[in-house]
Structure 1
Amino acid sequence: MPLTPTHRYDDIIDRPHHRSSTRPHMPLRKRAAQFMPFAALSGYDAIIMETARQTQQRVELGDDERQVLDERLRHIVEHASDHPQVSVTFFMPDPRKDGGVYVTVGDTLRRIDTVHRLLILGNGQTIALQDIVDIHEIAANR
């Protein structure tokens, strides 16, 4: 006999809800957890986003560009004790994949470490001299 809207569940609607006599009643919080969505591929979205993230390849400077950059660095080294404001564009290698990104920062020059070939800015950031592709003195703190 097919169920009609008026006869649906008429035989059980008034019966008491069954409770197990051998197992404790599950709290509502735990019952809700069993209906939460299941992510079979957890972390997959992050992997896709990482794969899609673009990086740039390091560009090698030509001889003329390298000579101009060396002259600017030499000038800044000569005035490093004045702690000039500099704008530095450098290549930051990506820790997770090939390539990296070019970054430009502006700050006070704290010092140049000639032993380790590092430019150290006022905020503590260190930049390897071989990664620098452009540098300008913004203003001197005299």
Structure 2
Amino acid sequence: MTDYYDDIIHLPHHVSKRHPQMSLYNRAAQFAPFAALAGYEEAIVETARQTSSKIEIMEDIRQLMDQKLSILCNHLDEEPIISITYFQPDNHKRGGCYVTVAGVLKDIRANEHIILLRDGKKIPIDYIISLDGEVFSINKP
């Protein structure tokens, strides 16, 4: 009994004169695994990432913030250095995180409800939970 390929099994390997031989690197790349679930790992990481809820501040803290904003308005020309802790909403999911930034106060835009720092940061007044700086200790009795 003869096999189907007996007539060609001992022939030399064909090498094309027209097309160059593929490198071993490119040949191996053909058989490399592919990601059937592209983006799956990133989705898992994003789902596991923790966010915080925005804290609703009490009325007495809100009044204190209003007093501090008033003091800052009176000292704008001095360009005081302040530290602000505020809620920064997350761009991808519900919640966010609390961020503390320090910088030189440039302006308070009450009509836009933002504080503008010299470095260009715009901080929403409604998201602020803490304001600190030397200008507040100067005005204490």
Q: Normalised by the size of structure 2, how large is the TM-score?
A: 0.80
List per-residue Cα deviations over 1:77-105 (Å, max 9, x = no partner).
Answer: 11112110000000000011000100000
SS at match of 2:119: coil
Q: Partner letter of residue 97 of structure 1?
A: K
Q: 1:16 to 1:38 in 2, by over 3 A?
A: farther
Kindly report the root-mean-square deviation, in angstroms, between the aligned alpha carbons of the 2 structures: 2.4
Residue 45 of structure 1: aligned partner: 41
1:112 equivalenced with 2:108 (yes/no): yes
User: Which of 13, 18, 43 in structure 2 is aligned with 1:18?
Assistant: 13
Unaligned runs of 5+ in 1: 1-11
Instruction: Pick one of 70, 75, 79 that aligns with 2:71.
Output: 75
The size of the alignment, in residue pairs, is 127
Amino acid at match of 2:14: R
CA distance in 1 between partners of 2:18 and 2:28 (Å): 18
Which among 112, 117, 120 is matched to residue 121 of structure 1?
A: 117
Contact 1:89 1:132 in 2 (8 A): yes
Q: Which amino acid aligns with 2:128?
A: I
Tell whether 2:54 aligns with 1:58. yes
How far apart are residue 73 of structure 1 and its match?
1.3
Shift of 1:38: 1.7
CA contact 1:90–1:131 (8 Å) conserved in 2:
yes
Query: What is the alpha-carbon distance in structure 2 between the residues aligned to residue 81 and residue 17 of structure 1?
Result: 90
Between the aligned partners of 1:17 and 1:125, the Cα distance in structure 2 is 73
Evaluate the alpha carbon distance shift between residue 105 and residue 22 of structure 1 in structure 2; reply closer, same or farther with a 3 A threshold: same
Unaligned runs of 5+ in 2: 1-8, 137-141
Tell me: CA distance 1:66–1:18, structure 2 relative to 1, closer, same or farther (3 Å): same
SS in 2 for 1:54: coil
Within the candidate set 129, 132, 135, 1:133 is matched to 129
Question: Separation in 1 of the partners of 2:85 and 2:112?
Answer: 19
- Structure 2 distance, partners of 1:102, 1:16, is 74
Are the structure 2 counterparts of residues 33 and 17 from structure 1 closer, same or farther at C-alpha, using a change threshold of 3 Å? farther
- In terms of fraction of residues, the more helix-rich structure is 2
Residue identity (%): 40
